[in-house]
Amino acid sequence: MKKYILTFLILVAAVSSGISQEIKWMTMNEALAAQKKKPKKIFMDAYTTWCGPCKLLDQNTFSNKDVAQYINKHYYPVKFNAEGTEEVRYRELTFTNPDYDPNRKGRNSTHQFTRAMKITGYPSLVFFDEKGDLIGPIPGYRNPHQIELFLKLFKDEDYKQINTPEAFKEYSDSFTNEFEPAN
């Protein structure tokens, strides 16, 4: 009997270790509150409900165990509907989406916070420093290897040394991926 229980426990442990890790998404308000207790950068996925590449980002990139583990460890991850109704309190201002139409199908009104961050396309990966200051948005879909470069660029603050397209190309060309390409 002990042999069967031990075998069962080993099997459960093996199966559990293979389950992909999920990103522990929070709201922007929750992330800003968490920063006050424990400073850490914020990583935001600014998406819309109608955006195909946004869905691919969830399916192909954010489901990657290396991506999820890295984001959870080094950032406060925020999932933000750029056309949604979430009230965001940022820098003593309140951002809403007063023109949101719940009966509208597809595209909707752009959230005020989306405009404040100067987001021009979806999805956009938005980075904030440990004080909540906006570093900047990176528009477009990224696979696990592509997002790894940006996650590490901002986490390690290498972006502060890059001030030309040539410098970014040099950084990118010399970057070595460590994440698995796909689950």
CATH number at residue 40: 3.40.30.10
What pLDDT digit, counting tens, does each position of 125-178 carry? 999 999 999 999 999 999 999 999 999 999 999 999 999 999 999 999 999 999
| Predicted local distance difference test score (pLDDT) of residue 8 | 42
What is the Cα–Cα distance from 134 to 120, expressed in whole angstroms? 15
Residue 89 backbone phi and psi in degrees, to 5: -105, 110
Asked whether residue 120 is domain-assigned, the answer is yes
DSSP letter at 26 equals B
Work out the mean pLDDT of the chain and round it to a whole number.
90
Asked whether residue 62 is domain-assigned, the answer is yes
Polymer length of the chain: 183
Our count of domains for the chain comes to 1
Asked whether residue 143 is domain-assigned, the answer is yes
Pick the closest to residue 129 from 152, 157, 171 (CA basis): 157
Which structural domain range is residue 145 located in? 20-174
What pLDDT digit, counting tens, does each position of 45-78 carry? 999 999 999 999 999 999 999 999 999 999 999 9
- Its pTM stands at 0.86
Asked whether residue 48 is domain-assigned, the answer is yes
Asked whether residue 8 is domain-assigned, the answer is no
